[in-house]
Structure 1
Amino acid sequence: MENNKNKILVTGGAGYIGSHTCIALHEAGYEVVIYDNLSNSSQEAINRVSSLIGKPIEFIEGDIRDADSLRQVFAAQPFFGVIHFAGLKAVGESVTEPLMYYDNNVSGTITLLKIMAEYEVKNFVFSSSATVYGDPEILPINEDSQRSCTNPYGQSKLTVEHILEDLAVSDNHWNLITLRYFNPVGAHPSGQIGEDPNDIPNNLMPYISQVAVGKLDQLSIFGNDYPTVDGTGVRDFIHVTDLAAGHVAALNYLESQTPAVGFLPINLGTGKGTSVLELLRAFSAVSGQDIPFQFAARRAGDIASCYASADKAKELLGWQASLSITDMCQDSWRWQSMNPNGYNLA
């Protein structure tokens, strides 16, 4: 079966970053098939993506650890490549449930790659993370920085990166781009899709927005004694729609590469650090809401500062982040105020 250069399988496409990327792919002329087990996402997100792009999006409910299900997907239609988002992502949960994280994130990816090899689909964009850099020795962090991890979630991402490196050495027909995200925030400007965490949010922006909308009482800021501009942690926040555009740029790059690129790691970040307090003030200004907070002790495994060198993405992919902290806060607030209960319509 000859590969269709426009057809992309998006695993985990119903999730936060996946859903935004599906829209960006559609706008760039790609045909998208979502494969997701809905364990940490919602059918409603897929419905809204379909509404935003003005046509039904093909959705197959399935698990990346299910080889037979994946085989049926690849046997039924030709794909140019796979963007692989399907993975568990809560750092704290990974510490208490490490086997679950290694089973899903590592074993699941191995199963997916095996089936891709069977069907000669060898273009792969992997959703990695800046957590693979651990506590950075030098800022900004570039792709050659030393990798180490402080939790099983990060370790699962790094393990997959090692697998991809070995795969590229074993077979020079693979195109394996690993995109190392920094801190995705924001939402689609329509307010129709956004980050919808189960239970208490693990990430800062949805926590701030749920305090702003009155769903949570106050924000706890972990650590105010870091060696940073105001004592709070500094991170490289990137708008999710900028991030989505980075995946399209990666696919476009792969289409033009002969011979194959092998294993290629690329940071997606803004190159600028913003502290927790700076983000909090920006969100308060945009939303007009007072956001109560308290300082708490540092969390184990947290680091003081983390921001990217995004030069490689600009040089190779022609991509750079364009949206500001204000944009990120405005879009997060629009999503949260329009959808106080996320995708739960009850």
Structure 2
Amino acid sequence: MAAVRVGSPASLDTLLPATAPDPGQPGPGEIRVKLQASSLNYHDFAVVCGMIPAEAGRIPMSDGAGIVEAVGDGVTEFKPGDLVASIFFPDWIDGAPPASAFTRVPGDGIDGYAREAVVTPAHWFTHVPKGYNAAEAATLTCAGLTAWRALFVDGTVQPGQTVLVQGTGGVSVFALQFAKAAGARVIATSSSDAKLERMKALGADELINYKETPAWGMKAMELTGGTGVDCVVEIGGSGTLDQSMLATRVGGHVALIGVLAGFAGPVQTALLMAKNLRVQGLTVGSRKQQLDMIKGIDSNGIKPVISDHFPLANLADAFRHQAANAHFGKIAVDI
């Protein structure tokens, strides 16, 4: 069975096509899924490049979607022929995450979905939105659910509120689409005018080029009449957090989901206190939250934005494309 494995030492140059044993037939409570697609996330990039330590030979990729080929005894949620998508945390079904959740992410703590088939417990997958294909479904597991949780689980975005999204990667594009579907106003930031125009075409109400306007937090305040935004989807980390806090209204919410601009740094605690801000870190979400997101998508018809497709054998090239910031939205992997 075709697969891709993390090399030793981990790097894009050692991320090469390999093989994996066929998983066989499902046992009680299990399903066999013929995988058809995955999609790239920064987390996956960090694994294959060695920033997140993983065993040599680990099969990467946290996102997976495909067709159920067989079900084991006792499985009633799925049947052969169903299109399904994986969940990011196999051990996190609902409520607070269990202690084991963060150590058993596919493609990181356990083998992931850069392979042709898997046999897993049935609850490791969910159904997908109506009308989705496998590549579209594979974008939901990490990026889609992260944006959903930021806005509607940890956040309480309402019609008429303002959301600021950073950049034009998968999470930010999903956040724009979800926020607009909820009736919110969206301010989008990017260093590329061309990508900002694409965000505008998707519904962004205001655009800020953060290279041309380094003090984009104050620009966001200006665009909201001095009030500030209700929610920031913060993907930069320490390098952008100060501007995000400046952009946010008193009592607002900063959803801290990424570290693209820095892993650590000083925090303006006086600003945090003065504005009574809630800065909350989050890492994807639970199976229940994924099911809620899928219900939401079914009600509004949102489709993910996929700018590029790569075959599984060329996974390293897909990551090079990601590292060059040449994509918009998601990069899909066809298996």
TM, length-normalised to structure 1: 0.33
Q: TM-score, normalised by structure 2?
A: 0.34
The structure where strand makes up a greater share of residues is 2
From the two aligned structures, give the one with the greater helix fraction: 1
